[in-house]
Amino acid sequence: MTTTDAPVRLLLADDHPVVRAGLRAVLETEPDFTIAADVPTAEAAVDLAGRLEVDVVLMDLQFGGRMLGVQATAEITARPGAPRVLVLTTYDSDADILAAIEAGATGYLLKDAPPEELAAAVRTAAAGKSALAPTIALRLMDRMRTPATALSRRETEVLQLVADGLSNAKISKQLFLSQATVKSHLVHIYAKLGVDSRTSAVAAATARGLIRR
């Protein structure tokens, strides 16, 4: 589709004008990069990613407080001949990283990355290879190595509702479970996180980026 030596065509998607300007400034200095467009919404990113011929989309995860980046990533990568999507966000939460990768992201970077790292990641992504920030890579390794810290899908789901302030009764109704099951999940969650109460579980999980907040 695109030869490796041709300029890399970029689409920037971030709701912060300052960040878009910053990315432009940082990436425009690279002679082999061309910035096709920058957009402030996830919808515009999905739209332009299809209509413009771009190689890499730099995608933020949060748009105006909402987490629309993941859906946008999924929609973009679902199409045939889709560009690579490089997720660029402020937070390094396990949940976000996994979600982004599952949605088809080629890489995951943090916004505090130095310009060189950013440019390198874009080139890596353009070449179709996976680009993970060192911090992220470490976290994933950690997660693999100690599966104890990794909560199961269902457990994460329950814990998220706990973090939202729901009681066991409410959670059981919301998930169509018995309270016994909710309690059971919580026992396992506490064991994995090394805590003994719902509030400390939420605190620990938030600190480790296991749940959203």
Pick the closer one to DNA by CB: 146 or 167.
167
Q: Binding to a second copy by residue 159, rule CB under 8 A?
A: no
* Planar angle of CA 150, 155, 160, nearest 5 degrees: 105
Q: Where does residue 80 rank: exposed (0-12), middle (13-18), buried (19+ CB within 10 A)?
A: exposed
Q: Please answer whether residues 33 and 74 qualify as being in contact, where contact means their C-beta atoms are separated by less than 8 angstroms.
A: no
Pick the closer one to a second copy by CB: 73 or 160.
160
Q: Binding to DNA by residue 168, rule CB under 7 A?
A: yes
Among 112, 120, 179, 180, binds a second copy (CB under 8 A): 112
Residue that is written with structure tokens 């300029």 in the block: 7
Q: Binding to DNA by residue 152, rule CB under 7 A?
A: yes
| Structure-token pair, residue 23 | 């990315």
Pick the closer one to a second copy by CB: 50 or 115.
115
Q: How many residues appear in the chain? A: 213
Residue that is written with structure tokens 């950690």 in the block: 142
CB of 211 to DNA, least distance (A): 15
| Structure-token pair, residue 111 | 């916004």
Q: Give residues in contact with DNA (CB under 7 A).
A: 147, 152-155, 167-169, 172, 175, 177-178, 180-181, 183-187, 190, 196-199
The residues that touch a second copy, with contacts defined as CB under 8 A, are 15-26, 64, 90, 111-115, 118, 162-167, 195, 197-204, 206, 213
